[in-house]
Amino acid sequence: MKKLIFFAAAIIVILALVLAAFILPPAAPAKTSISVGALLPLTGKNASYGLEIQNGIELARGEINSAGGINGKELEVIYEDDAADPAVGVNGMQKLAEVDKVPIVMGSWSSGVVLAVAPIAEKNKVTMLAEAISPDITNAGDYIFRIHPSAVYYTKVSVDYLVGKKINTASVLYSNTAFGKSLSDAFVKKFEESGGKILLVESYNPSDTDYKSVLNKIKQSSPEALFVPGYQEVLDIIKQATENDINSLILATPTFESPSTIPKLGALAEKVVYPHIYSSDMNEPKIIAFERKYFDKYGVEITGFAHSMYDGTYILADILKKCDTNRECIKENMYKTDYDGVSGRIQFDSSGDPLIKIIMKTVRGGKFVSAE
């Protein structure tokens, strides 16, 4: 009798196990990829910057995955379009941080967007690697890094260049944005500290298209140099300034270097100087190789932004190999970065700002080149 009871119990256990195999959901398959986010202006008038940055990310991502990915896992990037608009950027960042739950976000390129979304990144312990240059980003949080230097350092190099050219007077026409205002303030302060005289400071709204009235004021101030911190609209300002017989040296910002610049301005672009962290005419083997790969993949020549986040993608991939998705580990290893990329040697200070060389550039013969 005991044997029958034991046998019956064994049958019941076996049937229960078989039934459970059909009823219980299968175990989740091991994850074969690691996702990070990217918040960029992919539409709107500043889309050319975002699309080039995306190209740099994708070029690096393809190479990383071809070489084995992140410890055998494929690196994936979830893109959100911020249109260089802080409100749109907040929505995109909320999705990346709270729905997609990525540990890293590359971007934004826009200072206004970075400052708007930084609190979301901090709250969710998402490491950001931005392209934006507003000085306020320096104190935006422990998880906020950027691969382009602060406007403070860009303007120092710009002012040193003007002083070296014995330019003593300047006027400013800036975009009424976080980016434009921060650069204007930094430039005025540094230029005056260097013994220069600021003749006039004026602003315009990003939606403006006709600058004749404010350019008349600039012309009457007769500056030796005109500083124009803004975005794509700066190209229209330069054209209208020339039409208004303003012959000042034009000092722009890194945003001057875009795919639209030379086609739109032609020879007028040669009147402009601006600071940047990269130049094709450095003739370094790794730069030449990178630009060849970029052209072979996309069929266009690089301007000034793909290289930064190409390097940034490699930096982040190396950290993911050490940390997987451990957020504290990712942040701490960002501060330890020492990477030699196509942009040069990249390190970050205690505020997440990069320690990287800045050069002055211009246009000659239809090419963006180092300024003399």
- The pLDDT score that the predictor gives to residue 179 is 84
272 and 294: one domain? no
Distance from C-alpha of 39 to C-alpha of 60, rounded to nearest angstrom: 17
223 and 234: one domain? yes
pLDDT in tens, 82-107: 999 999 999 999 999 999 999 999 99
- The pLDDT score that the predictor gives to residue 31 is 67
- Tell me the mean pLDDT in the region 186-192: 96
Q: Are 189 and 244 in contact (CB under 8 A)?
A: no
Confidence band for 281, pLDDT divided at 50, 70 and 90 = low
**Would you say residue 61 lies in a domain?**
yes
291 and 212: one domain? no
> CA 30 → CA 62, 77, 104, 234, 317, distances in Å?
22, 19, 21, 50, 20
**Would you say residue 89 lies in a domain?**
yes
45 and 113: one domain? yes
- The pLDDT score that the predictor gives to residue 166 is 97
Q: Are 238 and 228 in contact (CB under 8 A)?
A: yes
Q: Give the DSSP H or E segment for 52.
A: helix 47-66
**Would you say residue 26 lies in a domain?**
no
164 and 268: one domain? yes
* pLDDT beyond 70 at 19: no
- The pLDDT score that the predictor gives to residue 2 is 43
By three-state DSSP, how is residue 311 classified? helix
* pLDDT beyond 70 at 192: yes
By three-state DSSP, how is residue 19 classified? helix
293 and 182: one domain? no
pLDDT in tens, 298-333: 999 888 789 999 999 999 999 999 999 999 999 999
Could you give the number of structural domains in the chain?
2
* DSSP structure string for 242-253: HHTT--SEEE--
**Would you say residue 48 lies in a domain?**
yes
Distance from C-alpha of 184 to C-alpha of 229, rounded to nearest angstrom: 7
- The pLDDT score that the predictor gives to residue 133 is 87
Structure tokens at 73: 């896992």
- The pLDDT score that the predictor gives to residue 280 is 65
- The pLDDT score that the predictor gives to residue 277 is 84
109 and 51: one domain? yes
Of 210, 218, 205, the residue nearest 239 (C-alpha): 210
Q: Are 159 and 167 in contact (CB under 8 A)?
A: no
Mean pLDDT of all residues belonging to the chain: 90
Query: Percent of the chain scored above 90 by pLDDT?
Result: 76
Report if pTM > 0.85. no
**Would you say residue 189 lies in a domain?**
yes
Peptide bond into 108 cis (omega under 30): yes
- The pLDDT score that the predictor gives to residue 15 is 47
290 and 307: one domain? yes
- The pLDDT score that the predictor gives to residue 38 is 99
Distance from C-alpha of 111 to C-alpha of 91, rounded to nearest angstrom: 16
- The pLDDT score that the predictor gives to residue 25 is 54
Query: Percent of the chain scored above 70 by pLDDT?
Result: 91
**Would you say residue 251 lies in a domain?**
yes
CATH number at residue 124: 3.40.50.2300
Phi then psi for residue 341, to 5 deg, are -120, -170
**Would you say residue 225 lies in a domain?**
yes
**Would you say residue 17 lies in a domain?**
no
Helix residue ranges, H only, the chain: 2-23, 47-66, 86-94, 111-124, 151-164, 178-193, 212-221, 233-243, 261-265, 285-298, 306-323, 327-335
Structure tokens at 278: 């990269």
Distance from C-alpha of 61 to C-alpha of 131, rounded to nearest angstrom: 18
| Residue type at position 191 | F
Q: Are 223 and 196 in contact (CB under 8 A)?
A: no
- The pLDDT score that the predictor gives to residue 11 is 54
Give the single-character DSSP code of 70. Answer: B
Dihedral sign (CA 357, 358, 359, 361): positive
Q: Give the DSSP H or E segment for 79.
A: strand 74-81
- The pLDDT score that the predictor gives to residue 184 is 94
Question: Which structural domain range is residue 270 located in?
Answer: 152-276
Confidence band for 14, pLDDT divided at 50, 70 and 90 = low
269 and 292: one domain? no
Q: Are 183 and 154 in contact (CB under 8 A)?
A: yes
Distance from C-alpha of 340 to C-alpha of 32, rounded to nearest angstrom: 29
